[in-house]
Structure 1
Amino acid sequence: MGWFRRRYLDLLGSIYIYNEHRGYTSIDRVLEAVRVRAPGDLALIAAIEKHRADERKHYLMFKRWFQLQGKMPLRVDRTCGHIDRFVEIMFRRTIDDLDTRAIIAEDDQFEKLCRVISLTEQRGYKQVDILLRHPMVTGDKVLMKIFRIIEKDEPSHWAPYEGWLKANGKRDPKWWERAIDSFIHSELLFLKLPALFLNPWLERCTDWADAHDPAEAKASPMPALV
């Protein structure tokens, strides 16, 4: 039982640290688009900047959690990234291949991106609520503190994107967009997570994901975990 729990938490932390890093580095692209589309909307820009800062903070908390255990995260890739999969399905290309200029220029593309981000963040909030009551998680005090901080931060993350959609008369997500979100979550939970759990050849990362981030990002504050 001890090994099973350690393996589960190891994978959980590895998937989260991947998604948090992917989150704040992807938001940099969103900020670029918003600053061009609406340079005078300082409230929207500030809200997205806070979202970016929170994602970075969450990444650092998971990084510290692994450091306290004296180990690196398991090597997971974009197939375990919720936003990665959502973007690939909705835009038919990876996040790295998204044409930021095209998204800036085409209103419907930016609108679509806002809905994708909003749904992803709402999914994250629901999942954290589940994990805070999960018997595998509740015994880890540091992990519980991390998830409580995420739970507090999360609602402000989808607010700016929903706010932009409503302010510009855009529609709410349709049933099929919500179905895609549910499919991605189920795919990870019932297919990818078990496959990774049982993979004896799954290696650990040899370097932290933020090793090549800009120097100013490395100065981000992080709440004390212990």
Structure 2
Amino acid sequence: MTNLSVPMRCPHCNNNSPSLILSTYWDIATTHAPGMAGHEWQIGECYEFAECISCGERFFYMYHWHEHMEPEEAVPKVLFPSEKSVPEGVPEHIKNSLLAANKVRNIDYNAYATLLGRTLELICVDQSASGKDLYEKINDLVNRDLIPKTLADIAHNVRILRNYGAHATKGEISEQEVPVLDSLIHSLCEYLYVFPSLLNDAQKALNRCKSNQKKQNT
């Protein structure tokens, strides 16, 4: 009989279904049952390596277990690959756009590029960029000194790759371009949202130090 997991979301293709369990490791201990003096039970964690029956990709996950639970009560937590994170300080609507792109990252490279292009458009709107198209809006960010020329080149690369993903007549986005796109859009987010947030935190810390020093001197 084929050994299948409980239904769970594949971290590669986002499909929610049982996966083929390739290997299992149990970390189990015997302990006293809560509220039942003299009664012992087994409890611990189960670690499993599985293969998605939809995309064929493999992943590693775990779930907490005790001997009285039903199999469908297991709540799997994927340990590898780790979920692609969004930089701190990014506005919620832009974060949601990035997360939407991440869901198709390993399914459809063209769709991933297209969704990152939409994220770039949202960033331009958030920064009140003006222009009739994305090309002009990116240049407007440079003209207003919101981003340096180097970062504008990064944004234009995202825009161009987005065009390849969105239009069948222009070509195809391959797996090789995916990490490049990912690095480009994250660099833009870090410059516009993460760095200012870090600078603000650093200024607050400096102000606290100055305030404490004044109190010590009085």
| TM superposition score category, shorter chain reference | under 0.3
Instruction: Pick the structure with greater CA Rg.
Output: 2
Higher strand share: 2
Higher helix share: 1
Tell me the TM-score normalised to structure 2 length: 0.25
